[in-house]
Structure 1
Amino acid sequence: MPTPAAPAGQPSAHAPAGQRPAHAPVGPAASVGPSAPVGPSAPVGPAAPDGPAASVGPSAPAGPVASVGPVVLAPDPLDELADRLDALVAVAVHPDEIAAILESDGMTDDHIRLTYGRVDSFALAEELYARTERRHPDPEAPVAGPWHTGLAGCLLRGLVFALPGLAYVLGAPLLAGGPGRYGLPPGSVPLFAGAVTGWVWNQSLAHRAYTWLGLGDRRAALRALLTGAPSGALAGAAVAVAAAGPGEGAAALFGAGQALYLAAATVLLVLGRERALLVGLSPLAGVVPALGYDLPGGLRVALLLLSLTASTLFAALVLRPGPGRQGRGRGGPPFAHSFPYGLFGLGSGLLVLYAGADAVIALSLSMGPAEWLLHRFRGAGLTRLRLLTTAYEFRRAVTAVLARCLGGYLAVLSVLTVTAALLWPGAAAVSAARVGSVLLVGAVLWLGLLLQAFGAVSSAAAVCLLAAVAQALAPAAGPFAAGAAAAVLCVLTCVLLVRPTAHRC
C-alpha cells in the first residue's frame, strides 16, 4: 500500500534533506534565530505545567513534530478470492452458479462470515458477480464427443432397436398352440415376465457400465458387463420358465432366448458395436417372405437361432480380451445409483407395450432421431451457456430449443406411426385419436430420456411407472394417463433444465 501523504501544514519526517521546508528543525533541538530572546530563565523545552509560558520571538519555530510512520493496510481477502475465481465468475450468467462454485470449494457459511464478512455463500456470490465484468469467450467449434454425435449413428441405433420386433413375427406361429391367460394372447405371460426382468436388469447394467466408461476405466466397464450380462440372461430365462403355464413350453424357450439376446444387445450397444448387432439381426429379414407365405416351422426356428447365435457370439468376442486386473481397487459407482435407471426402463417399456404392435415398431424406430435430438439439445444448451450473459436470456433460449427438439421428434414419430399402421398386418386403422395416443407416449419417452440424461432419472422413473400402472388398471384410460405423464414431465423439464447450473459439465 502507498504511504499516506503528510497532513497539510506538517513536514514529512521521511522527506529527503534537500526537500525539507526551510523552517523545519534539523537537529534534535530547534535552531533559534538571532532575534529570539533566550535568557537564562527561558525554558528550552515545553513550558512547565505551573510556570509562565516561554517568551518566543516571531521567528522562533514551534517545537519538533513527532514523526508518523507509514500506515500499512492488510489485503482484503475478497480481492484475493475475486482474483482466484476471476475466470469462473466472468463467464457465469447468474450468481447461483458462483454460489455453487463456492460451496463445491468447501466454503461454509461460518467460514464466509469469518473470512469475508458476508452472510452466506449467496451474498458473497452476488458481490463477486457484481464486481466482475462479464467475459464470455467466442463459441468454439463443436468437438467430437458424446454431445456431438452424428445423425447416421443415431439412426442405426434406432434400426437395431426396432429389428428385434421382427423376431416376434417369426415366432408368433410357434407360440399359438398354448392357451392364453389373463386375457392375453397365448404365450404372452412368460414372454412378458422375462422381458420385464430383462429391461430392469439390463438398463441398470448399462448405466453402471456407462458410468465406468465416463470415468475413463474401460476395463472396469468390461468387467461389469462380463459379470452382469450372463447374470441378467440367467435371471430373465429363469423368470420366463417359472412364469410359463401348461402348454407354454415353446413360449418359455422363446423367453429364454429373448433374455439371452437382451444381454448380448446390451453389451454391444454400450460398447458402441451397433454394426455388429445389425449383422447379428440380419437373419430376421426372413420375416419379409413370411408376411406373404407361411414359412415352415423349422425355417422359422433356424432363422431365430441364427440371429440369436450371431448376436451372442459378437458380444462374447467383444468381451474376449478380458477385463484384466487394472482398476480393481477403485470403489466405483454405488449399485443403488443404477437401480432408478432400471425402473425407468420398466415404466417406459410397459407404456410402449400397451401402445400396440405397430406403435412398438414406430416408437422403436423413433429412438434413433430421439437420441440425436437429445444430443442437439444438450449441445445447444452448452453453446448458449457460453454466449448469453443473463439468466433470463438463457432461460428463454433454452425453452425455445426444447420446444423445437420436442416438436421435431413428435413430427418424425407421427410419420413413422402412420407408416407402420399402413404396413403392419392387423394394425389398427389410422386415425387422429390413434396417432395422438402414440404421440403422447412418445412425448413421455423423450422427456423422460431427457431428464435421465441430466441426472433426474428418479422423477422420470416415478412418472413413467405411475402412468404404466394406471394404464394397466384401466386400459381405456391409457391416453389420459400418458397425457398426464407427459404434462408432468414437461413441467419438470421446464423447471429443472432451463437453469444454467443444470448445463454445467
Structure 2
Amino acid sequence: MSGSLWMPPGSRPDTLPAIPRQRTAPSWAQPDPIDELAERLDDFIAAAVHPDEIAALLESDGLSDDQIRERYGVKNSFALAEELYERVERRYPEPEGPVHDPWQVGLLGCLLRGVVFALPGLGYVLGAPLLAGSRDDFGLPAGTVPLLAGALAGWTWNQGLAHRAYSWLGLGDRPASRRSLLRGAPAGALLGSLVAFAVAGTDQLVAVAFAAGQSVYLGAATVLLVMGRERALLAALLPMAVGAVFAMMEPMPDAARPVLLLGSLTVVVLLGLREVAPLKGRGAVSTCDSAAGRDQPQRTRRRPTATGPRLSASLPYAVFGLATGVLVLYAALGDVLVGEQHSAIAAPAAVALTLSMGPAEWLLYRFRSSGLAGLRSSSTPRAFRRTTVITVLKCLSGYLIALLALSLTTSALWPHAPGITGVRLAGLLLLGVVLWTGLLLQSFGAVLSAATICCGAALAQTVAVVTHSGNPHWVGLIVHGAAAVAQAALVCALLGRATAHR
C-alpha cells in the first residue's frame, strides 16, 4: 500500500520497527597492536638474542618514537622492543644448507703475513756496519735515534693510510683506494725522512740515508699489503733476508751490504708502483680482494660511492699505531737501556712480537667466527656474554702460547742475546695481551678506546725512561699489566653485547 510502512507479522501496529545499528566489539575483544606487530615480526624476534636487535630493526623501518607512542602506547623503540622480546618465545631455527661464515681464513696466509712483517728486521743486520760509531748521548748505538724516529713517523702515517685505503675498498671503490695509496705512500716516505733528518742533523748523514730508505720501504710495503700482495713482497725481501742470515754466520764484504739492501728496496718500490699506477683499462668497479675485502666478503660487485671516508676517521688508527710502536720499541730497547745489549734494533723481543702478528691475525678471525656461532647458539644475553668471555680467553691464551714459543726460539737463536728472566718474559707476555686486545677492539671499531689506553701506557713508560725511574723491565711489567687489565675488561664489556657482532 503506497505511503504506508510494511510491518512484519505479529508486530504491534503502534510501534515502529527498530533501526539497525552498527555493532561495536567490546574493548576487550579489540586486537592488541603489539601482538599484531609481534606476529608480523615473529621469525626475527624469536631469533633475537637481545632486545636491542629488535629496536634496531624498528628504527630501520622508519618508526619514530612519536609514531610508536601513538600506535602502541609505549615510550620509545627500546620499550617496544623489550615488550616484543618478552611476548615471543626464543627459538633459533637452523638455516638451510651450510652456514655462511665470512671470517673463515687460512692459517698459512696469516703466518705468511707475520713473516713478511718480520723479515725487514734483517735489513738492520746488513746495515749495522754502515752505522758504526760511538754511542750517542742516550747511550744508544750510533744512528739508533734517527732510525727510531723515522720508523715511528712512518709507522704512524702508514697505519692511518692503510685504514683509509681499506675504507675505500670496503666501499667498493678500488680505484679510489689506489689513488689514496699513490698519494699517501710518497708523503709518508718524505715525512719519515724529514723526521730522521731533523733528529740527526748533518752529523749522521749515513743514518739519515738509511732512515730514508726505511721510510720508502714502509710506504711501498703498505701498498702491497693493502692490495693483498704478500707473496710478491716476500719474494722481493728474500734475497736481502738470505744475505742477512749469511752475514750473521760468515763475514760479508761491505760493498755487498748496500747492494742487497738497495736491490730489495728497488724491487719492493717497483711492485708497489705497479699496483697503484693509473694503468689504462682498469675498471672503476671491482671487488675487494685484500685484507679489507675479507671483512666484507667478495660476493657481489658494488657501485663506487661518491661519498668517501672522512680523513678524521683514520686519525685514531694512526694514533693507535704510534702508541703500539712506542711500546714495541721500548720492549726492543729494554736490554740496551740497562746496558745488557749492544744492538738496539731488531732485538729478540721485537722480532718475536712482529712474528706473532701472524697468529694474532688468525686468532682475531677465529674470534669473529666464534662470535657468529655464539649468536646462533645462545638463547639469552647472559649466555652469549659467557660464551664471548670464554672465546676471548681461548683466543688470547692461544696467542700468548705462540708468543712465548717465538720469544724462547728467537732468544735461543739470536747471537749474544741476554738470558730470559721471569720479569722480562712476564712483561713481554703482558705487552702481547695489550697488543692483541687492542687489535681486537680496533677490529670492532672501538679503536679510540684502545688508542687511549695504549697512549697512556706509552706516555707512562716514556716518562719513566726520561726520568730514569726504576729498571725499564720492571716499569714495563707494571705499565703493561695495567694496560692489559684495562683493555681486557673493556673487551669483555663491549664485545659481550650481541649488537657488537652484527
Q: TM-score, with normalisation over the residues of structure 2?
A: 0.85
1:491 maps to amino acid: A
The residue aligned with 2:158 is 202
1:481 maps to amino acid: V
The residue aligned with 2:354 is 364
**Percent of pairs identical after alignment?**
54
CA distance in 1, matches of 2:225, 2:426: 30
Cα shift at 1:77: 4.5
Q: 1:494 aligns with which of 462, 487, 492?
A: 492
Q: 2:434 aligns with which of 435, 444, 451?
A: 444
Contact 2:223 2:272 in 1 (8 A): yes
Write out aligned runs for 1:184-223 (5 A).
184-223=140-179
Gapped regions of structure 2 (runs ≥ 5): 286-302, 333-346, 466-471
How big is the alpha-carbon RMSD for the aligned residues of Structure 1 and Structure 2? 2.3
The residue aligned with 2:366 is 376
The residue aligned with 1:404 is 394
Q: 2:414 aligns with which of 417, 424, 430?
A: 424
Q: 2:315 aligns with which of 327, 339, 359?
A: 339
CA distance in 2, matches of 1:180, 1:85: 70
- Indicate yes or no: 2:27 matched with 1:29: no
Write out aligned runs for 1:129-148 (5 A).
129-138=85-94, 141=98, 143=100, 145=102, 147-148=103-104
1:350 maps to amino acid: V
Q: 1:291 aligns with which of 248, 253, 259?
A: 248
CA deviation profile, 1:187-242 (whole Å, cap 9, x unmatched) = 12211111111111100111111111111211111111111111111211222222
- Indicate yes or no: 2:233 matched with 1:277: yes
CA distance in 2, matches of 1:30, 1:103: 59
The residue aligned with 2:378 is 388
CA distance in 2, matches of 1:45, 1:233: 108
CA distance in 2, matches of 1:406, 1:143: 25
CA distance in 2, matches of 1:328, 1:129: 38
Cα shift at 1:472: 1.5
Write out aligned runs for 1:115-194 (5 A).
115-138=71-94, 141=98, 143=100, 145=102, 147-177=103-133, 179-194=135-150
Contact 1:137 1:387 in 2 (8 A): no
Instruction: Sort the Cα spacing of 1:325 and 1:32 in 2 relative to 1 into closer, same or farther, 3 A.
Output: closer
1:68 maps to amino acid: R
Q: TM-score, with normalisation over the residues of structure 1?
A: 0.84
The residue aligned with 1:40 is none
Cα shift at 1:461: 0.7
2:388 maps to amino acid: V
Instruction: Sort the Cα spacing of 1:382 and 1:144 in 2 relative to 1 into closer, same or farther, 3 A.
Output: closer
Cα shift at 1:92: 0.5
CA distance in 1, matches of 2:89, 2:353: 48
Aligned residues: 452
CA distance in 2, matches of 1:222, 1:76: 56
Contact 1:179 1:247 in 2 (8 A): no
SS in 1 for 2:201: coil
CA distance in 1, matches of 2:55, 2:100: 29
The residue aligned with 1:478 is 476
Runs of 4+ that moved beyond 6 A: 72-75, 323-329
Contact 1:350 1:468 in 2 (8 A): yes
Cα shift at 1:79: 5.0
CA distance in 1, matches of 2:165, 2:40: 37
SS in 2 for 1:185: coil
Greater C-alpha radius of gyration: 1
CA distance in 1, matches of 2:306, 2:21: 63
The residue aligned with 2:339 is none
The residue aligned with 1:68 is 21
Gapped regions of structure 1 (runs ≥ 5): 1-26, 34-42, 47-62
1:369 maps to amino acid: P
Cα shift at 1:388: 1.8
The residue aligned with 1:44 is 13
Contact 2:182 2:277 in 1 (8 A): no
CA distance in 2, matches of 1:379, 1:275: 25
Cα shift at 1:426: 2.7
Report 1 or 2 for greater relative contact order, CA contacts < 8 Å, sequence distance ≥ 6: 2
Q: 1:330 aligns with which of 283, 292, 306?
A: 306
- Bigger share in helix: 2
* More off after superposition, 295-304 vs 250-259: 295-304
SS in 1 for 2:249: coil
CA distance in 2, matches of 1:179, 1:247: 13
Cα shift at 1:85: 3.5
Contact 2:122 2:244 in 1 (8 A): yes
CA distance in 2, matches of 1:183, 1:88: 64
CA distance in 2, matches of 1:115, 1:315: 59
The residue aligned with 1:253 is 209
Contact 1:181 1:189 in 2 (8 A): no
CA deviation profile, 1:331-365 (whole Å, cap 9, x unmatched) = 21101110000111111111111112111100111
Contact 1:90 1:132 in 2 (8 A): yes
The residue aligned with 1:319 is 276
CA distance in 1, matches of 2:395, 2:80: 37
Contact 1:177 1:247 in 2 (8 A): no
CA distance in 1, matches of 2:221, 2:90: 48
